[in-house]
Amino acid sequence: MSATSRDRPRYATPTRVDVTECRTDRIADRVRRNRVRGSEVHLERRGGRTFLVTTPAE
């Protein structure tokens, strides 16, 4: 049995990361860290909060 590690996250469902307090010049870094091959990353506003949403590829 072998263990492998990935340098990028893998998601099966959409994920939301609260970036309300994140500086605007750091948003691009957060997008790169949360991007998964073929996924869509976008910002979403909900109730005065801002979320970075990663939707997995189908």
Which pLDDT value is given to residue 27? Answer: 86
Tokens found for residue 40: 């869509």
Per-residue pLDDT of the chain (58 residues; tens, 9 = 90+): 445 555 555 556 678 888 889 888 898 888 887 777 777 888 899 999 999 888 876 6
Among 8, 15, 14, 56, CA closest to 32: 8
Which pLDDT value is given to residue 8? Answer: 53
The vertex-7 CA angle with 6 and 13, nearest 5°, equals 70
Which pLDDT value is given to residue 1? Answer: 47
CA 44 – CA 34 distance, rounded (Å): 15
Which pLDDT value is given to residue 2? Answer: 47
Tokens found for residue 38: 């073929």
pTM over 0.75: no
Which pLDDT value is given to residue 45? Answer: 92
* Domain positions in the chain: 15-55
Residue with tokens 């309300």: 20
The vertex-44 CA angle with 13 and 26, nearest 5°, equals 95
